Amino acid sequence: MGEDSPAIVLLGFGAEGWGRALIAGAGLTLMVALAAMAIGTVLGAMLTAAQASRWRGLARLATVYGLVLRGVPELLVVLLLYFGAPGLLAWVAALFGLPSPGSPPAFLTGSLAIGLVSAAYQAEVFRGGLIAVPSGQIEAAMAAGMGPVKRFRRIIAPQVLHRVLPPLGNIWQFNLKDSALVSITGLAELMRTSLVAAGSTRRPFLFFVAAMVLYLVLTSASSALFRMLERRGQRWAGPA
């Protein structure tokens, strides 16, 4: 299947070219990373809240979650969800008296796995951000008669955002790169697409270079975006 074609044809957009598939794969990589980031933000915020909770059991549970998910390889989490999800789903379905629905979509298990790990790191970032707001300021805001929403918007959010944005940018980069691990579930994101192309044309060097370039585009574009946001954030937060 085209192993004799020149590189320009193999990477092109013709019938034999993998260009379209690689671009689509890069798009899917971006989607997985975005979904994982969103899952991680929601779950991470919940973990931060749980850690600050008055219920010691809940706080401890959140701490243990963070320790485990930050201490275990991301690949293992992806594999666990990939192999374990059909069984879990069948079990849940059985509770409702339904037949086993089979495997959940690879996109869902994949981004959930990366998101679960991302949450553990994001929780740390949020916790660090919250600590950065001196309690005196919050007390002062309360004394000034600010409600909780106004307090969050005017006092907490600007300072936390300013602190949180750079490390969140870091986590985003890790999400982007960790999304490659989802390729083992068969999802045709960038890593998987380049591997399939490498295998079926037997030109691994060419396709892995192509994938590297596309990953570099994704990571450097998003780091430029985060730098811009940081500058904006600084202006918004005013002189610290």
Partner 1 sequence: MIRAPGPRLVLALVLALGACHATPPPAGLRELVIGTEGAYPPWNFTRADGSLAGFEPEYLRVLCARLHRRCRLVPMDWDGMIGALQTGKIDLIADAVQITPERAAVLAFGRPYGLSTGLTATLRNGALADLPDRDALMDFDRQGPALDAMIARMRKALAGKVVGVALSGAFDTFLNQAIGPGVTVRYYRTMGERDLDLLNGRIDATIEDETYLRPLLATRDGAGLVLGGPRMIGGTMGRGEALAFRRGDNQLRGEFDRAIEATLADDTVRRLGLKWFRMDASPGRGH
Partner 2 sequence: MNDELAFLAMTALAIARALPVTVLLSVAGALGSSGLAGVLVVAQATRLGRPIAQLWIFVFRGTPLLLQMFMVYYGLAALGPIRHGPLWPAFREPVFCAWLALTCCCSAYIAEVLRAALAAIPKGQIEAALACGMSRWTRVRRIIAPQMLRLALPAYGNELVMLIKSTSLASTITVVDVTGVAQLVIAHSYRTLEVFCLAAAVYLGLTAGLTALLRRLEAKLMEGPRR
- Residues forming the site for partner 2 (CB under 8 A): 67-68, 70-76, 79-80, 83-84, 87, 177-181, 183-184, 191, 194-195, 198, 202-205, 208-209, 211-212, 215-216, 219-220
CB within 8 A of 205, min separation 6: which ones?
none
Out of 34, 93, 146, 209, name the contact with partner 1 by CB under 8 A.
93
Distance in Å, CB of 158 to partner 2, minimum: 26
Residue type, 234: Q
Distance in Å, CB of 227 to partner 2, minimum: 15
4 binds partner 1 (CB under 8 A): yes
By a kind-dependent CB cut-off of 5 to 8 A, residue 101 interacts, out of partner 1, partner 2, none, with partner 1
User: What's the token pair of residue 56?
Assistant: 């010691």
By a kind-dependent CB cut-off of 5 to 8 A, residue 89 interacts, out of partner 1, partner 2, none, with partner 1
> By C-beta, is 83 or 236 nearer to partner 2?
83
Find the binding residues for partner 1 in span 153-212 (CB under 8 A).
184, 186, 195-200, 202, 204
Q: Under DSSP, is residue 98 helix (H, G, I), strand (E, B) or coil?
A: coil
Distance in Å, CB of 213 to partner 2, minimum: 9
Distance in Å, CB of 103 to partner 2, minimum: 13
Closest alpha carbon to 32 in 109, 99, 101, 92: 109
The count of chain residues that interact with partner 1, using the rule CB under 8 A, is 33
CA atoms within 13 Å, Cβ hemisphere of 91:
5
CB within 8 A of 218, min separation 6: which ones?
26, 29, 30, 176
Residues that bind partner 1 (CB under 8 A): 1, 3-4, 15-18, 20-21, 24, 86, 89, 92-93, 96, 98-104, 106, 184, 186, 195-200, 202, 204
